[in-house]
Structure 1
């Protein structure tokens, strides 16, 4: 494959700092926010930076773009609204923040002039973007985990019309009413993965490697598959299985394509199961170590490994 352009963003003083960069593509402009406090934009046609700002405090969420405004949450659980043309702050809102700053405590989701975001103490806050006021706030961190000093991590905040689906490592999956924050249903499970929704179903990958299909309207479990059942050794004569070491769910990903669910493991395997009934179909080793959840583009599965190599799978 031909490299179109490469761009060095950081000067040498940042060489020794690990980078965690959130990206958002809007048209031909790529926006980025990182754990060093930088937010910047790049022209994807030329590879040249358009603007760059440093706000001094690490950003901890992904980016989101809505009606000409760029949104991101920083490490102190402050929500920022930026002007996408120059990176200047338009407004901000600060929620509660704990002493421990986990890397996956903040998420943003937008729908119909409502913005939902999470903080590191387990609050989900809904904001009316027209009025810039709080509509409702709910805490999804259980009391048991508060007393156990759990480092809070959260899934994506998935909005489906008037429903909000979200879970965490605290032990609960919730379905909220988008307008009121009222709990419609809940289930006991822990998951920090991105959930998948269809017209009838919600698919969840749990921290203990179960894939679960729910009726999205009432929360009933339709089927579940324990991936640990398929942890037997892949290499003949070896006693090292796919899940012989503790599962790192940060390196798992759940995809839906052509009626099948695909799951990747940090040890380099990809699993294929039926989305209809949860039956295991196959597993295949594609790399030694995978480091990111995959995506589907033009009927291809794209995955990065720990060496930042791009792997493309049919």
Structure 2
């Protein structure tokens, strides 16, 4: 008889995550009972989700469990599709500025920096495009498949690959500058944390449950710490992947792991400031002195940034495969598997609005710039929305 953790993990394998069985041929799922998503809850509407514009861009997330997301710089929004399309749109109108087809499978995107639009490919390359017109500047091989958006700062492009390596590439040429690696567990989720680069430091989380900081120019390790320690008797139970992007605030770096913890780390030393048990593979956001996360069961929670105590939990959306959350004005928004965008109050977690983006579902976290919410759906529709 399987433990509750094993049953939940196997459900996620079949219905939500598409786990990467590193080093294994497969995993039996016969006899496992699927968890039904909660029905759409009733609520008193306080805000409306209004569409500003929408445009189809490529094929979205494709057939794999990808979480390609848009990125905004100034008045342009950049987005990539799984089968190789990359586009720049006017972020206010949705008008196409340029669009190209790389004719290769994209697994990680979209990144921006140093005047470049950056994507990672399924066959282990980083491709850099000129942000102005989309022309290819360079492409560079890395050690393995790229499922995280490359980042750029201080003349370096930073990319994390699925084999738990982090590389620094010269932003002008794509030539390798440094490489760091960490021991990878036998079994991992199919996904990779996107490194965060702030003030010359690269913050990265790994499938082992570890967190590390590197100098962005040299790759020298500044510190290492633990988000979670593997527990249990089976490889499934011992999975503690850090798959979400570290969230960097002024006084702390926040990370969350699957079947582990959400933590606040000191940016300078990696020392734990607080730790709370949690399980999530989605990104974090902040607002009103809280960090917000959707856990592996799609329970949306607010956690006090200073203490780690839970402020509220929203359980009405449980098992609806929520995306990572994003904070906008007084609200938190998250997409779900049916393509709804849910709007929740930052104050108490009550549902105050809902809008349908499209029926293909929303897997990647919404992007908020000012009062505009950009949502990229699984089938490739990029929508700009506002709350009224």
Query: TM-score scaled to structure 2, two decimals?
Result: 0.64
Q: Deviations over 1:209-264 (max 9, x none)?
A: 4211222222222221124xxxxxxxxxxxxxxxxxxx6x33x3422222212222
In the other structure, the counterpart of 2:210 is: 172
Alignment match of 2:287 (pick from 252, 257, 271): 257
Give ranges in structure 1 of 5+ residues lacking alignment. 228-246
In 2, the alpha carbon distance for the partners of 1:253 and 1:272 equals 13
In the other structure, the counterpart of 1:155 is: 193
Alignment match of 2:167 (pick from 125, 133, 138): 125
In 2, the alpha carbon distance for the partners of 1:285 and 1:131 equals 48
- Shift of residue 67, structure 1, vs aligned partner: 4.1
In 2, the alpha carbon distance for the partners of 1:149 and 1:282 equals 32
In 1, the alpha carbon distance for the partners of 2:316 and 2:208 equals 32
Q: How does 1:137-148 map to 2 (within 5 A)?
A: 137-142=179-184, 145=185, 148=186
**SS in structure 1 of the partner of residue 109 of structure 2:** coil
In the other structure, the counterpart of 1:218 is: 269
Q: How does 1:66-85 map to 2 (within 5 A)?
A: 66-85=113-132
In 1, the alpha carbon distance for the partners of 2:283 and 2:189 equals 21
Q: How does 1:209-248 map to 2 (within 5 A)?
A: 209-227=260-278
Conserved? CA contact 2:85–2:99, under 8 Å: yes
Query: TM-score scaled to structure 1, two decimals?
Result: 0.78
**SS in structure 2 of the partner of residue 35 of structure 1:** coil
In the other structure, the counterpart of 2:139 is: 92
- Counterparts in 2 of 1:297 and 1:92: CA distance versus 1, 3 Å: same
Give the total of aligned pairs.
281
Give ranges in structure 2 of 5+ residues lacking alignment. 1-48, 229-240, 346-388
Alignment match of 1:307 (pick from 334, 338, 354): 338
Alignment match of 1:295 (pick from 326, 329, 332): 326
Conserved? CA contact 2:209–2:257, under 8 Å: no
In the other structure, the counterpart of 1:242 is: none
In 2, the alpha carbon distance for the partners of 1:45 and 1:220 equals 42
- Shift of residue 116, structure 1, vs aligned partner: 0.7
Comparing 128-137 with 108-117, greater Cα deviation is found at 128-137
**SS in structure 2 of the partner of residue 121 of structure 1:** coil
Conserved? CA contact 2:164–2:207, under 8 Å: no
In the other structure, the counterpart of 2:251 is: 200
- Shift of residue 125, structure 1, vs aligned partner: 1.2
In the other structure, the counterpart of 1:275 is: 305
Q: Deviations over 1:98-142 (max 9, x none)?
A: xxx5xx733312222221112233221112324543221111344
In 2, the alpha carbon distance for the partners of 1:216 and 1:28 equals 31
Structure number with greater CO (CA < 8 Å, separation at least 6) is 2
In the other structure, the counterpart of 2:153 is: 111
In 2, the alpha carbon distance for the partners of 1:105 and 1:170 equals 17
In 2, the alpha carbon distance for the partners of 1:210 and 1:110 equals 28
Q: What RMSD, in angstroms, separates the aligned Cα atoms of the two structures?
A: 2.8
